[in-house]
């Protein structure tokens, strides 16, 4: 178990873990908003105040390395409040590790935004769970 804890700690200390999480939340929220409002990419670009090229980049690659300000603006425009907290590393890890060492509880991956999107279970949904097969999940499944 010690070993798994240290793998978890290592993963949590990688910027890409958090950046991918944020990208994924935003990506899902944008797609959900498009679907709920029957928008095409042109309408979405206009609504978000970004270029059509940028929209394609987001929707094709899930790459959203915006500034903080832009992320906040986009979140608000797709009906979400962007709640950001800085958690003390040690207490955060203690909380995770004390939770029966369950692998699955790793914060982001079962967070409400993900489950929310999934629980809708739309047959025609274009929403992709970016994380389902990513490197972190693979590492954690070891």
- Least CB distance to its own copies at residue 93 (A): 8
Applying CB under 8 A, the span of 53-61, 86-94, 120-128, 132-140 interacting with its own copies comes to 86-94
* Inter-CA distances, 11 with 5, 55, 56, 85, 122, Å: 10, 29, 29, 19, 32
Applying CB under 8 A, the span of 42-50, 87-95, 121-129, 131-139 interacting with its own copies comes to 87-95
Joined together, the tokens standing for residue 131 give: 């994380």
Could you give the dihedral angle defined by the CA atoms of residues 85, 61, 31 and 104, in that order, rounded to the nearest 10 degrees?
-50
Which residue number, 72 or 140, has a Cβ lying nearer to its own copies? 72
CB 35 within 8 A of CB 43: no
Is residue 73 at the binding interface for its own copies, with CB under 8 A as the rule? yes
Which residue number, 38 or 91, has a Cβ lying nearer to its own copies? 91
Is residue 116 at the binding interface for its own copies, with CB under 8 A as the rule? yes
Taking the C-alpha atoms of residue 11 and residue 30, their distance in angstroms, rounded to an integer, is 26
The closest of 11, 54, 8 to 30, measured between CA atoms, is: 54
Using CB under 8 A, list all residues that contact its own copies. Answer: 12-13, 15, 18-19, 21-23, 25-26, 29, 64-69, 71-73, 75-76, 79-90, 92, 107, 111-113, 116
């Amino acid at each position: 178990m010690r070993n798994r804890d240290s793998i978890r700690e290592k993963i949590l200390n990688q910027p890409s873990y958090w950046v991918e999480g944020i990208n994924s939340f935003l990506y899902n929220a944008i797609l959900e908003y498009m679907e709920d409002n029957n928008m095409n990419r042109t309408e979405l670009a206009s609504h978000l105040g970004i270029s059509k090229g940028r929209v394609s980049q987001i929707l094709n690659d899930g790459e959203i390395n915006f500034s903080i300000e832009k992320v906040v603006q986009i979140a608000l425009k797709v009906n979400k409040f962007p709640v950001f907290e800085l958690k003390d590393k040690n207490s955060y890890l203690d909380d995770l590790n004390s939770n029966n060492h369950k692998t699955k509880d790793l914060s982001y991956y079962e967070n409400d935004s993900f489950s929310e999107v999934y629980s809708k279970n739309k047959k025609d949904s274009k929403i992709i769970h970016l994380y389902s097969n990513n490197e972190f999940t693979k590492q954690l499944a070891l």
